[in-house]
């Protein structure tokens, strides 16, 4: 049962907004002091639960995983303070996890949609171009308002990255998703793929390693955010090394994309492109690594408050989820220090609170009511 919690530290209602006086009553946040005494008093810097804008609960290297594995993945995210997940494609039906009040909130995208024999086996619904729009309609109806396309992958005949589908087909697919009330995002490594996706009216770009100066004004004008997944892009040199002998052009291309990973993120931010944090957890990337992604964005050159915001306030608004506001679910985190000034503090959270229940806590940073009042 949810308890009444008093938060005694500064409350970050935005990357630059601080106020004091916050309580959780029956699992909901309020800025009005309740009549009843608090069951717990928690001290530290309060901010909304993190958002992982690109992850895959229920997905493993070979595709669908057993329920206990999917549960462990979600639990790892929860322990790291990720309380809202945008699942960007999974071979498993995780609606049963959505019904669990003790697990992060999940926004599902159904399954990936890829070109036949042009993606990792077992992960996606694979179609030829003439079947893409129909497949998009199916996944739009099966998910929670998002559809995920695999926009490019290695074309073994060409020996390099290449778009998965012709532009006219992608346009029809995006229109079909919008007709179903869903937004479309796409895995995009290569430069040309971003051009096609912007021409097609895409709603988000995943990875965006091929981002070039010509793309940036269009991203801003069309209000298309990017999710860089830097901790996954860090794998590109290894991918290139393994591919070099058989596909040297592809290997060189992947290295070139990796070398510009930080520069493109900073250029996009400075131009006004919205950037959101996503780990790409679910296959080769482990769950529970949102702090690594936020800190990677900071290391790339984003100011600490901006990097934090990519997984926090603005990410929640983008996905239609409340942050810290009157009557919102009490899904919050507590840090030992101001995470804007000391970003590393997000690696070791003082408390993780989901629906008004403390699900993770460092005992040095939380005090029960009697101790707070000096009662022995």
What's the mean per-residue pLDDT of the chain? 94
Lowest mean pLDDT among 13-22, 151-160, 167-176, 364-373: 364-373
Q: Which CATH architecture has domain 5-48+323-372?
A: Roll (2.30)
Which tens digits make up the pLDDT trace of 298-325?
Answer: 999 999 999 999 999 999 999 999 999 9
Cβ atoms of 176 and 212 within 8 Å: the answer is: no
Q: SS3 of 100, please?
A: coil
Output b/e per residue, 96-116; b: 16+ Cβ within 10 A: ebbeeeebbbbbbbbbbbbbe
Looking at residue 361, its pLDDT comes to 63
Which tens digits make up the pLDDT trace of 132-182?
Answer: 999 999 999 999 999 999 999 999 999 999 999 999 999 999 999 999 999
Two structure tokens written together for 233: 């892009």
Looking at residue 325, its pLDDT comes to 97
Specify the pairing of strand 152-155 against strand 160-163: antiparallel
Looking at residue 67, its pLDDT comes to 97
Residue 306: CB atoms within 10 A of its CB come to 16
pTM for this one?
A: 0.94
Spell out the domain ranges in the chain. Answer: 5-48+323-372, 50-318
Looking at residue 52, its pLDDT comes to 98
Looking at residue 3, its pLDDT comes to 85
Chain centre to alpha carbon of residue 209: 17
Looking at residue 2, its pLDDT comes to 66
DSSP string, 184-248: EEEEE-SHHHHHHHHHHT-SEEEE-TT--TTTHHHHHHHT--EE--HHHHTTHHHHHHHHTTT-H
Do the domains 5-48+323-372 and 50-318 sit in the same CATH topology, yes or no?
Answer: no
Place 373 in a pLDDT band, splitting at 50, 70 and 90.
Answer: very low
pLDDT > 70 fraction of the chain, expressed in percent and rounded:
95
| CATH number assigned to the domain with residue range 50-318, chosen from the 4 options 3.90.1150.10, 3.20.20.140, 3.90.550.10, 3.40.630.10 | 3.20.20.140
Two structure tokens written together for 115: 């070109």
Which tens digits make up the pLDDT trace of 193-203?
Answer: 999 999 999 99
Spatial distance between the Cα atoms of 372 and 41, rounded to a whole number of angstroms: 7
Which tens digits make up the pLDDT trace of 221-254?
Answer: 999 999 999 999 999 999 999 999 999 999 999 9
Lowest mean pLDDT among 206-220, 270-284, 362-376: 362-376
DSSP strand E in 43-190: where?
Answer: 45-48, 50-55, 59-60, 63-64, 82-87, 105-108, 112-115, 124-127, 146-150, 152-155, 160-163, 183-188
């Amino acid at each position: 049962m949810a308890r009444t919690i008093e938060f005694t530290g500064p409350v970050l209602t935005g990357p630059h907004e601080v106020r004091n006086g916050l309580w959780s009553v029956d699992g909901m946040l309020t800025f009005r002091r309740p009549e009843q005494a608090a069951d717990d008093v928690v001290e530290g810097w309060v901010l909304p639960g993190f958002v992982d804008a690109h992850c895959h609960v229920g997905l493993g290297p070979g595709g669908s995983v057993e329920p206990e594995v999917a549960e462990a993945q979600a639990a790892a995210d929860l322990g790291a303070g990720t309380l809202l997940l945008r699942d960007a494609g999974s071979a498993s039906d995780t609606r049963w996890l959505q019904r669990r009040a003790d697990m992060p909130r999940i926004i599902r995208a159904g399954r990936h949609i890829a070109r036949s024999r042009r993606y990792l086996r077992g992960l996606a619904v694979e179609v030829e171009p003439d079947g893409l729009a129909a497949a998009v309609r199916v996944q739009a109806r099966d998910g929670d308002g998002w559809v995920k396309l695999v926009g490019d992958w290695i074309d073994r005949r060409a020996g390099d990255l290449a778009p998965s589908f012709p532009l006219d087909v992608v346009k029809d697919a995006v229109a079909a998703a919008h007709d179903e009330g869903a937004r479309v995002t796409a895995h995009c490594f290569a430069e040309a793929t971003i051009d096609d996706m912007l021409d097609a009216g895409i709603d988000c770009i995943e990875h965006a390693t091929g981002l070039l100066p010509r793309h940036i004004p269009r991203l801003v004008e069309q209000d298309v955010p990017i999710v860089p997944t830097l901790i996954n892009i860090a794998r590109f040199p290894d991918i290139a090394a393994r591919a070099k002998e058989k596909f040297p052009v592809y290997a060189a291309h992947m290295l070139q994309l990796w070398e510009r990973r930080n520069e493109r993120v900073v250029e996009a931010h400075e131009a006004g492109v919205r950037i959101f944090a996503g780990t790409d957890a679910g296959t080769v990337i482990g769950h529970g690594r949102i702090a690594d992604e936020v800190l990677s964005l900071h290391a790339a050159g984003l100011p600490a408050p901006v990097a934090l915001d990519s997984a926090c306030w603005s990410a929640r608004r983008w996905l239609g989820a409340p942050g810290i506001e009157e009557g919102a679910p009490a899904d919050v985190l507590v840090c030992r220090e101001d995470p804007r000034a000391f970003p590393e503090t997000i690696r070791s959270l003082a408390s993780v609170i989901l629906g008004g229940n403390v699900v993770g806590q460092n005992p040095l940073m939380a005090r029960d009511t009697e101790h707070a009042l000096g009662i022995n």
